Chains A and B, each alone.
Chain A
Amino acid sequence: MENQEKKPLEKVCMICAKGSLEDVYATLVMANGAVMEGIETNVFFTFFGLDGITKKTMNHLHTATTGNPAMRMPGGLPFPTVLGGLPGVESAVSGMMRKQMEALDMPPVDEFLEMITAGGGTIYACKLAVDMFKLKKEDLSDEVSDIITIGQFYELCDGDRTQIIFT
């Protein structure tokens, strides 16, 4: 079939429901990438994902050092689960990871959110989760435009060149 019309993506709607460093960053990198490509972008943070947009927690996200089979020591040896459970280890490992990300020009979460909204992306918090964690609008990053229900979020996902991504 020649002359097949290309149908580029026009809108992405992302849902981030987990609060580990890698889950939040996966969402942020994809959201920022979409904005940079000129794709309309909506991001919905829910459940533990709210940590990624809560002022107190967003710049101190952790990666799990236990129950994470992909975790390696520097040098590549497997990271013993027993070690991962010791106090302070998860903090130290997460700090190291954030440093390595910074070296690749990956910004801290607050700045990443600013980059996304500067390009016209929109950040939402899930109402149900906000209520459940007893958070208020002022606890959340200033880049969060609104606290909405999942129904309202789906309304934002209209259009036949729209994709929903769940991370």
Chain B
Amino acid sequence: MAVKTIANAQVQVTDDGYLEDMNQWNEDIAKEIAKELGIELTDKHFEVINYLREKTKAGEGLTIRKVGKSGVVDIKELYKLFPKGPLKFSSKIAGIPKPTSCI
């Protein structure tokens, strides 16, 4: 665990850069993490991010299939929004833990 300054805020992150505490998250932090990953966030990105955060708060595990069936995005769109890391990158930007599911 390390402390990192993202968007002028001190946050605790894991070794691979995921926020330790999802409550330390804000939209500016999201934008900066996204930038590091080469992603420019749009409203659509935030819709996905908010969905991921809601589900995580509710204690539900996330899979790419579940996000694809959420009505927020389908799987193809999700790959377009977060290329090469539909669940990993979106989770990182959403400030939630690294996904633990294999699907």
**A33 / chain B contacts, CB cutoff of 8 Å:** 102-103
Select which of A37, A104, A107 is within 8 A of B88 by beta carbon.
A37
**B101 / chain A contacts, CB cutoff of 8 Å:** 105
Chain B residue nearest in CB terms to A101: B103
> Interface with B: A61-69, A78-86, A87-95, A114-122, which one?
A114-122
- A105 touching B63, Cβ below 8 Å: yes
**A37 / chain B contacts, CB cutoff of 8 Å:** 84-85, 88
Interface size on B, residues (CB 8 A): 18
Instruction: Given the known inter-chain contacts A32-B103, A36-B64, A105-B66, please indicate yes or no for A118 contacting B74, CB distance below 8 A.
Output: yes
B86-103 vs A: 1/0 string, CB under 8 Å?
A: 111000000000000111
B55-75 vs A: 1/0 string, CB under 8 Å?
A: 000000001111010000011
Chain B residue nearest in CB terms to A104: B103
Complexed CA–CA distance, A115 and B64 (Å) = 9
A–B Cβ pairs within 8 angstroms, 13 of them: A29-B103, A36-B85, A38-B83, A38-B84, A38-B85, A105-B66, A107-B65, A111-B65, A118-B74, A118-B75, A118-B76, A119-B76, A120-B79
Residues of A within 8 A of B (CB): 29, 32-33, 36-38, 104-107, 111, 114-115, 118-120
